[in-house]
Amino acid sequence: MKNRILFVACFILILLTLSSCQSEKKIVAEPAPTLETVPTEAMTAQTPVPVLDPMPEETLVPTPGPETLDYANAYSSVIEKYRIAKQASVSSPGAAFEYDVSEWIEYFDHVGYALKDLDENGVPELIVAGISPTYDPGPVLFEVFTLENNTPVQLLISWARSRNFLLPDNRIYNEGSGGASSSGFVLFKVNGTTLQFLEGYWSSNSTDNTGSTMYHTSSDEGNPGFGNFDKYDYTMPAQEGFAIGQQLCETSCLPELTLIA
């Protein structure tokens, strides 16, 4: 009996001991999951970065500028008129007046044209002139045109008593005559769609027929008007004035011409 009681007591003691240890047992928190460090190269390999197509570049359509325009085509009506007139002049001496072109076509075997920007505004002027003269009148400008709204505008025309020449600095030298007692020369320059007067010299015989005097003006009020000498500011001997004109004529020049007819 004692042994049985002793066994029960020992069993109870063991149970109490185990219960106490369990309550005193420390609770150890489980470590939080850690993120594994992945090399950048590996991330790139594992997660491809989407590649965006580049934005399409805007296609600009250039506005036609002076360098791209077909100026010969813009002046084609004038060029064609001279072609027809020159061909007709072979059998018809009055073709220049019939086709409203410079009568100087009668004094050259051929006629040609050139494009040159005389006022440096980006729009070349059309120069019509002669090739192979039947006598030597010098490099006469038959006509000069410019463009306004892509339409030819006449700047000057030469005729029998009024010849125009181009100077190296793109000024226009005109020499003309209003009759046996009145003649002279004028300097112009192209300014847009107009011909701007620079200065002029005109001669007139004296009232007593003892000689002629050269009058000068730098006022556009004196242009062109033969006999408008009250607008002229001083006088010089006629031969001196004509010497100036001769020097200008000797320096006149023409660009290379393209054959019309």
Whether the pLDDT of residue 25 is over 80: the answer is no
pLDDT tens-digit profile of 114-129?
999 999 999 999 999 9
3-state secondary structure of 223: coil
The pLDDT score that the predictor gives to residue 3 is 52
Could you count the other beta carbons within 10 Å of the beta carbon of residue 79? 20
What percent of the chain has a predicted confidence (pLDDT) above 70? Answer: 60
For range 75-104, the mean pLDDT = 92
Q: Which range has the worst mean pLDDT, 19-23, 173-177, 180-184?
A: 19-23
Whether the pLDDT of residue 225 is over 60: the answer is no
Residue 90's pLDDT band, with cuts at 50, 70 and 90, is: confident
Is 176 within 8 Å of 162 (Cβ atoms)?
Answer: yes
Whether the pLDDT of residue 85 is over 90: the answer is yes
Q: Which range has the worst mean pLDDT, 47-51, 155-159, 246-250?
A: 47-51
The pLDDT score that the predictor gives to residue 140 is 92
Q: Cβ neighbours of residue 205 under 8 Å, at least 6 residues apart?
A: 181, 182, 211, 212
Is 227 within 8 Å of 204 (Cβ atoms)?
Answer: yes
Q: Which range has the worst mean pLDDT, 22-31, 137-146, 165-174?
A: 22-31
User: What is the rounded CA–CA span in Å between residue 140 and residue 64?
Assistant: 33
Which residues make beta-bridge pairs with 151? 148
- Quote the DSSP letter at residue 27: P
What average pLDDT is seen over the chain?
Answer: 74
| Listed ranges 6-10, 67-71, 192-196; the one with the highest mean pLDDT | 192-196
For range 81-99, the mean pLDDT = 90
First to last CA, the chain: 155
For range 25-41, the mean pLDDT = 45
Residue 211's pLDDT band, with cuts at 50, 70 and 90, is: low
Residue 59's pLDDT band, with cuts at 50, 70 and 90, is: very low
Q: Where are the domains of the chain?
A: 71-259
Is 215 within 8 Å of 202 (Cβ atoms)?
Answer: yes
Q: Which two structure tokens, joined as six digits, stand for 148?
A: 């306004």
Whether the pLDDT of residue 194 is over 70: the answer is yes
Q: Which range has the worst mean pLDDT, 22-26, 96-100, 107-111, 195-199?
A: 22-26
Complete edge-to-edge strand list for the sheet that includes strand 234-237: 162-166, 172-179, 182-191, 194-205, 212-217, 234-237
76-81-84-90 Cα dihedral, nearest 10 degrees = -130
User: What is the rounded CA–CA span in Å between residue 233 and residue 201?
Assistant: 10
User: What is the rounded CA–CA span in Å between residue 143 and residue 77?
Assistant: 13
pLDDT tens-digit profile of 227-250?
455 555 566 666 777 777 778 878
The pLDDT score that the predictor gives to residue 53 is 47
Beta strands 194-205 and 108-116, pairing class: unpaired
